[in-house]
Amino acid sequence: MLTVEQQLSASSHNQALAALTFLYVHVLRAPFERIPGIVPATRARREPVVLSPEEVGRILRQLDQPHRLCVLLMYGGGLRLTECLTLRVKDVDPERREIVVRAGKGGKDRRVPLAVSAIGIIRRRFAELRRSWYRDYRTGVRSTGLTPALERKYPNASRDWGWSYVFPATRTFVDRSEARRRHHLHGTVLQRAIANAARASGINKRVTSHSFRHSFATHLLESGADIRTIQELLGHSDLHTTMIYTHVLNRGALAVISPADRLRVE
């Protein structure tokens, strides 16, 4: 019914199947006999949306800070949305021109480049954040995202300048322990800003935050970077995941020349 009548995606199909399995196995403690032919849906492979450098520049010009810096870091280092928004001050090193991504997808750390064009913006950002962080420090506002084990080992880490977010939220909240905390910028805020900027730029592509990561990898390949290096920068465990970008290089479909291009017609 989900597939035929409601025409839901493979992800929704699998989510419903997983929910039924959890209900019977873990809640009702009853055997769950699957109907023959009902199997997890296979997701269709989609080609990633890749922007040209000119299109990235047009989007950047439509964005205000700190959204412009977020996009610049995602495009300049291949960061995922959450990896960008959860960056802490101590993990951005303008001197070494690098960013350390902590506990990325799969719980892995990795190092990615910090674009030279972003260094001046980062330093100005740090100067602004330092003042707001000091106000939080005096009023006892703490950062989020630290594990209980880390808070036990470093009791003052949540109030330390290095552990504060590069993109903090504008509002604070009180947690269960009655401590006032400040989270990072919410992902939907940045996603909405990117969608509006792409629309204002007149770009007729489905631009999301992940498009800048796709563009980062594709443009590196086009400039001659090694596929293994790109795999490491993106944090992919399997090289086959990175190989998808070899199919979207700026050489036409399947890297061939269309026979129509050899015709001499006006």
Catalytic machinery residues: 80, 105, 210, 213, 236, 245
How many C-alpha atoms does 79 have within 13 Å on its Cβ side?
Answer: 29
How many residues does the structure list for the chain? 266
